[in-house]
Amino acid sequence: MAENQDRTWKELLQDFIKGVEKAIEELEKRDVDNIPGAKQALLQRLNNMKIHFPNNDGEIFIKSINDKIQDAFFPDTQDLTQAFEKILKSRTHEQDFIINELLNGFVTSKAKAIALETQGPIIDRMVEAFSRRNDFHIVDHQFYAMFGDPNKPRSYIKKQLEELVNIFGLVSKELVIEKDKRRSERKVYTFYTFPDDILKILEQKYIIIDNELGYAYVSDDFDRNVFICMFLANISINRDNLEKIGGSYTVNGISAIFALILILSFMPKLSVDETNPLLKDPSFNEQNMSVIPKSWMMKQVLDPLFEPLIKIIGYRLGGGLWLSQIIDSEINKKIHNQIRFLLKDVNKWILGQLCRVEIPIFVEIANIFTEIIVGADTEQK
């Protein structure tokens, strides 16, 4: 088994290096940048990747994915509460924006595939619904009204909504009324909520008690990030059970999102000329932003890197099971393309230039790359 795993990993590394070589070949043909040194900087970075990424059994990937991405977003635990709490704590304001934009788009499209008739962003509607009560419960008929299809049987709706509940790690509870006031008969109400230990965290973090008015309410800080963290925590503990995490769709979407994060992390940071108008724009912060030149965005440069990275991410996060789901099907290609197009959405446009914000995960992964290159250069000397 270990030999098969080693062989698979070596093949994935080889495929990535072939992709790097293709990207170098494409980049050398073109010169579309208006930033001096941009093309050369990327060529140098790609050549360094070609040299160093296969070393020590893909050490850069292992440290980047296992130590940074997995630790922050997919903790290695079977405890949902531990996973949720760790993911929630690892977020920063800037990271929230970029990671949430990537994940929110994907989760919304996944949820919308389940709740087809729903109007508006799924996660935003769930935030709204769960914010109405200070116990973070919603009753089943509210859930059906929000996400159901009145033209389809209730049994069909229930099955679809159970899938929606599952991908967010929510639970259902029953309240039994032995004698209903209206009909004097036994009545069973079903509620959807968070697991008990998660509820304790939410109550501490998001419930505000107004002593003057004498009631408690949910703060505005309770937002889509809670559901995205639940989504990631659910994947963390159920990564070996595709049915519980949304199947192949989730595997391909998550792998593509974090492949994109790796690409953004590996891009070299460029300094612009002191006469560049960007430096005078108040929305540009030279300390934590860098320009992404047009040549770096070309499909011919990105795609040879992106596709093998998706498989590498999938393999590191979910082993052979996830890798087996990343096949060249039309559906998967569509998912990968949707994620790739998000590259322009999660970065900032300033004066016609696309700028990357240096969020912690980008910086941490870039530092791993730099440390290994510097270490290798030192050894050679």
Closest CA to 33 of 272, 370, 313, 362: 272
pLDDT of residue 284: 84
Question: Tokens representing 73?
Answer: 């977003």
Strand partners, 127: none
Question: Tokens representing 245?
Answer: 């995490």
64-73, 129-138, 363-372: least confidently modelled range: 363-372
Q: At how many degrees (to 10) do helices 299-323 and 330-341 cross?
A: 130
Q: Are 361 and 72 in contact (CB under 8 A)?
A: yes
pLDDT of residue 215: 82
pLDDT of residue 2: 47
pLDDT of residue 321: 95
**Mean pLDDT score across all residues of the chain:** 81
Q: How confident is the model at residue 109 (pLDDT cuts 50, 70, 90)?
A: low
Q: How confident is the model at residue 3 (pLDDT cuts 50, 70, 90)?
A: very low
- Spell out a b/e string for 31-60, using b for 16 or more CB atoms within 10 Å of the CB, else e: eebebeebbebbbebbebbbebbbeeebeb
pLDDT of residue 377: 53
HEC string for the chain: CHHHHHHHHHHHHHHHHHHHHHHHHHHHHCCCCCCCCHHHHHHHHHHHHHHHCCHHHHHHHHHHHHHHHHHHHCCCCCCHHHHHHHHHHCCCHHHHHHHHHHHHHHHHHHHHHHCCCCCCCHHHHHHHHHHCCCCCCEEHHHHHHHHCCCCCCHHHHHHHHHHHHHHCCCEEEEEEECCCCCCCCCEEEEEEECCHHHHHHHHHHHEEEECCCCEEEECCCCCHHHHHHHHHHHHHHHCCCHHHHCHHHHHHHHHHHHHHHHHHHHCCCCCCCCCCHHHHCCCCCCCCEEEECHHHHCHHHHHHHHHHHHHHHHHHHHHHHHHCCCCCCHHHHHHHHHHHHHHHCCCEEECCEEEEECCHHHHHHHHHHHHHHHHHHHHHC
| Position 359, amino acid | I
pLDDT of residue 93 exceeding 70, the answer is no
pLDDT of residue 7 exceeding 50, the answer is yes
**Percent of residues, the chain, with pLDDT higher than 70:** 81
Closest CA to 91 of 72, 105, 110, 75: 72
| Predicted structure pTM score | 0.84
370: Cα within 13 Å, side-chain hemisphere? 10
**Percent of residues, the chain, with pLDDT higher than 90:** 26
Q: How confident is the model at residue 107 (pLDDT cuts 50, 70, 90)?
A: low
Q: Residue ranges per domain, the chain?
A: 2-74+242-380, 93-228
pLDDT of residue 110 exceeding 70, the answer is no
pLDDT digits (tens, 9 = 90+) for 324-345: 999 877 777 777 777 776 666 6
48-52, 135-139, 320-324, 364-368: least confidently modelled range: 364-368
Using alpha carbons, list the distances in angstroms from residue 128 to 169, 227, 339: 18, 12, 26
Q: How confident is the model at residue 195 (pLDDT cuts 50, 70, 90)?
A: very high
pLDDT of residue 190: 81
pLDDT digits (tens, 9 = 90+) for 237-294: 999 999 888 888 889 989 988 898 888 888 888 877 888 888 888 888 887 788 888 7
pLDDT digits (tens, 9 = 90+) for 114-167: 555 555 567 788 888 888 888 898 887 777 777 666 666 666 667 767 777 888
pLDDT of residue 279: 84
pLDDT of residue 77 exceeding 90, the answer is yes
pLDDT of residue 356: 79
pLDDT, mean of residues 308-322 = 94
